[in-house]
Amino acid sequence: MTKTLLVTGAAGFIGSNFVRMLVKRRESVKIIAFDKLTYAGNMANLADLLGDQVVFVKGDICDPAAVTKAIEDYRVDEIVHFAAESHVDRSILGSGPFVQTNVVGTQVLLDAARAKDITKFLYVSTDEVYGTLPEDQPDVKFTEETPLQPNSPYSASKAGGDVLVRSYFHTFNMPLLTTRCSNNYGPYHFPEKLIPLFVTNLMEGKQVPLYGDGKNVRDWLYVEDHCDAIWTVLQRGAFGEAYNVGGNNEMTNRQITETILKAMDKPWDQFVKYVQDRPGHDRRYAIDATKIKEHLGWEPKFRFDSAIKTTIQWYRDNEKWWRDIKSGDYLKYYDTQYAGR
Ligand SMILES: NC(=O)c1ccc[n+]([C@@H]2O[C@H](COP(=O)([O-])OP(=O)(O)OC[C@H]3O[C@@H](n4cnc5c(N)ncnc54)[C@H](O)[C@@H]3O)[C@@H](O)[C@H]2O)c1
């Protein structure tokens, strides 16, 4: 029997890649793409996928009536919860929307899932909930047992959702799953984040802003690998468990910048501008993804050196997509497309 998935945040970067992957693989699921369309939600990410298999519902996860209505109208079986305020810099400017969506929104979804007997609920968390790692101990990585010690309002709000999920499992014995993934890159990534910002700035002939000394380390994973890991955990994960997801690909922001400049044939001196570091900028993230490999047989399939080239090429091939975002035109898409319907 075909299952119905409610995918929150489906018009964002990873959510839309997840929906795209399920459609491309011809998975036997109906997808209700539920999204508030904040500045980060973009109908252009989903437009070509909408039809019998994928239905779009505009709604706010903080609105219990809207969430319950979507679950009832479409007889939703399972929920994959991506929706979030996701940009650390914005959380430093103002944490209100982060607490609202990432904590309260998650609580609203959990309560609706409980009331409607949802058969599986997966919370897409992040490695940022663990805080930061020492740079001089490369063997130390985040495991699922690492205490949650978030350092930014963004990661604190994601940790709030993460521990709420944990508490609902222990209190109500609900069918809950959590993934904690490292930094993603790939198509449809909003150009306020490092890789798409740098690639599109260079295409526009502009400089790229590199924070601090450029030595902050992140573990980069191609978005399709993350989506595949989420699908794997949804199929075979044990309820109440969290699974780390990582690419085993630690790189400094400087190395990422060098890779992009080289691929785009731009000289460092002319195009890199060092800017003052982000306050509280975590130095190093690195994921130990042994558990998902040993328990569920998941491993990343994409290699960084080729997937970053695919990503850069995607931005070359989809100039209208990112230019509409940078000019703000994408915000008009929903109203133009759906006004009066
Ligand atoms: N991007 C990464 O590298 C990364 C890594 C690990 C985990 N994550 C997590 O994955 C999830 C998706 O991240 P992303 O990079 O795709 O984010 P994104 O900002 O690109 O997309 C978020 C989506 O959620 C929607 N949304 C926001 N508030 C909403 C609300 N109140 N109700 C309904 N929809 C709402 C937005 O409109 C947008 O479409 C987030 O939970 C994030 O914490 C991201």
What are 272-299's pLDDT values in tens digits?
Answer: 999 988 888 889 999 999 999 999 999 9
pLDDT higher than 70, residue 333: no
Question: What is the band of 20 on the pLDDT scale with cuts at 50, 70, 90?
Answer: very high
> Which residues, 6 or more positions from 228, have their beta carbon under 8 angstroms from its beta carbon?
21, 298, 301
pLDDT over 60 at 84, yes or no:
yes
Mean pLDDT of 93-108: 97
Which of 13, 158, 185 to mutate to test ligand 1, by most ligand atoms within 8 A of the CB atom? 13
Q: Which residues constitute the domain of residue 150?
A: 3-338
pLDDT confidence of 341, banded at 50, 70, 90?
low
| Minimum mean pLDDT range among 113-122, 303-312, 332-341 | 332-341
Q: What per-residue confidence (pLDDT) applies to 340?
A: 53
- Residue range 21-58, pLDDT digits in tens: 999 999 999 999 999 999 999 999 999 999 999 999 99
**163-186: per-residue pLDDT in tens?**
999 999 999 999 999 999 999 999
Q: What one-character DSSP code corresponds to residue 22?
A: H
* Among 234, 236, 337, residue whose Cα is nearest residue 6: 234
Q: Label the pairing between strands 29-35 and 54-58.
A: parallel
Return the active site residues: 127-128, 154
Work out the average pLDDT over 91-107.
97
Q: Which atom in ligand 1 lies closest to the alpha carbon of residue 245?
A: 6
Average pLDDT rounded to a whole number, residues 297-319: 97
Atom from ligand 1 closest to the CA of residue 81: 41
pLDDT in tens, 183-209: 999 999 999 899 999 999 999 999 999
- Strand, helix or coil for residue 140: coil
pLDDT band at 1 (very low <50, low <70, confident <90, very high): low
Q: Distance (Å, rounded) from C-alpha 211 to C-alpha 208?
A: 10
Going from the Cα of 203 to the center of ligand 1, the distance in angstroms, rounded, reads 25
Q: First CA to last CA across the chain, in angstroms?
A: 31
Share of the chain above pLDDT 90, in %: 89
Coarse DSSP helix, strand, coil percentages of the chain, rounded to the nearest 5 percent: 45, 20, 35
Cβ atoms of residues 216 and 259 within 8 Å: no
Residue 100 CA: which ligand 1 atom is closest?
Answer: 31
Which residues are CB-contacts of 140 (< 8 A; sequence separation ≥ 6)?
133, 134, 286
H or E segment at 327? helix 319-327
DSSP symbol at 180: E
pLDDT score at 134: 87
Please give the C-alpha separations between residue 88 and each of 52, 143, 194, in angstroms, as whole numbers. 36, 22, 12
Structural tokens at position 162: 């993460």
| CB count in 10 Å sphere of residue 40 | 23
Q: Which residue is associated with the tokens 């963004």?
A: 154
Tally of domains within the chain: 1
Pick the range with the lowest mean pLDDT from 81-90, 224-233, 328-337.
Answer: 328-337
pLDDT for 334: 67
Kindly give the distance from the C-alpha atom of residue 224 to the centroid of ligand 1, in angstroms, as a whole number: 15
The CATH number of whichever domain residue 93 belongs to comes to 3.40.50.720
SS3 of 198-218: the string is HHHHHHCCCCEEEECCCCCEE
Distance CA 161, CA 138 (A): 29
Residues with CB under 6 A from ligand 1: 8-9, 11-15, 35-38, 40-41, 60-62, 82-86, 101, 105, 124, 126, 158, 181, 183-184, 190
Residue with tokens 């975002």: 325
Could you tell me the distance, in angstroms and rounded to a whole number, from the CA of residue 268 to the centre of ligand 1? 32
Q: Which of 42, 49, 53, 54 is nearest to 12 (CA)?
A: 42
* 285 vs 331: CA distance, rounded Å: 33
| pLDDT (0 to 100) of residue 332 | 76
Q: Angle 194-203/253-263 helices, nearest 10 degrees?
A: 30
Calculate the alpha carbon distances from 264 to 205, 249, 309 in Å.
11, 21, 10
Q: Concatenated DSSP letters for 298-317?
A: ------HHHHHHHHHHHHHH
Lookup result for tokens 């780390």: 244
Which atom of ligand 1 lies at the shortest distance from residue 154's CA?
43
> Average pLDDT, stretch 141-164?
97
Q: Does 69 have pLDDT greater than 80?
A: yes
Backbone angles phi, psi at 137, to 5 degrees: -130, 75
Q: Are 325 and 193 in contact (CB under 8 A)?
A: no
DSSP string, 13-41: HHHHHHHHHHHHTT-SEEEEEEE---TT-
pLDDT tier, 136 (very low <50, low <70, confident <90, very high otherwise):
confident
Cα(87)–Cα(192) distance, rounded to whole angstroms?
8
Residue 190 corresponds to which amino acid?
A: F
